[in-house]
């Protein structure tokens, strides 16, 4: 456990897939028919194949062809990308997809390592902040830690 963050680390590594793209067959299997729409968006624009817009994924909740498990995966992917990759704009990063493939395993992964890496990245970004006229804040869920610290 790291005293400054209260994070407790485990030994089950969070799986990532740096090679995954919207064109991978497993994306459609795990996320449902919304992957077809995501591929069309990539083909028609300059967007990266490594992520899907949050609004595109959110549209899957209204699609009757999206299964309950796919909806849960989509929700968790949006949550992960919004928490641990807030600097990536409105895209959900697909390299988190292996972590939500088996929904019953989500709670077993070493989320503390990902949180700590995000914390260190946030500290780096804050230290590189060039404007000293205002306050510098950490991104993502570390704002909760900041509020607790200031109180």
pLDDT given at position 150: 45
In the three-class reduction of DSSP (H, G, I as helix; E, B as strand; rest coil), residue 91 is classed as: strand
The label of the residue with tokens 């591929």 reads 39
pLDDT given at position 69: 93
Domain extents in the chain: 25-114+134-150
pLDDT given at position 141: 54
Q: Which residues of the chain are under the pLDDT cut of 70?
A: 1-9, 46-47, 85-89, 125-126, 128-151
Three-class secondary structure assignment of 36-82: HHHHHHHHHCCCCCCEEEHHHHHHHHHCCCCCHHHHHHHHHHHHHHH
pLDDT given at position 136: 56
pLDDT given at position 106: 84
Angle 111-127/142-150 helices, nearest 10 degrees?
70
pLDDT given at position 70: 93
């Amino acid at each position: 456990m790291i005293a400054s963050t209260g994070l407790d680390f485990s030994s089950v590594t969070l799986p990532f897939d740096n090679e995954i793209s919207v064109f991978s067959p497993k994306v459609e299997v795990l996320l449902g028919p919304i992957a077809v729409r995501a591929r069309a968006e990539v083909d028609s624009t300059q967007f990266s194949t490594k992520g899907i817009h949050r609004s595109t994924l959110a549209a899957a909740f209204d699609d009757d062809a999206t299964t309950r498990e796919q909806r849960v995966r989509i929700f968790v992917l949006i949550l992960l990308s919004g928490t641990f990759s807030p600097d990536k704009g409105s895209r959900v990063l697909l390299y988190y997809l292996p972590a939500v493939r088996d929904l019953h395993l989500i709670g077993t992964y070493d989320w503390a390592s990902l949180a700590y890496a995000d914390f260190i990245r946030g500290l780096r970004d804050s230290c590189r902040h060039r404007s000293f006229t205002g306050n510098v804040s950490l991104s993502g869920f570390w704002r909760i830690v900041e509020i607790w610290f200031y109180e």
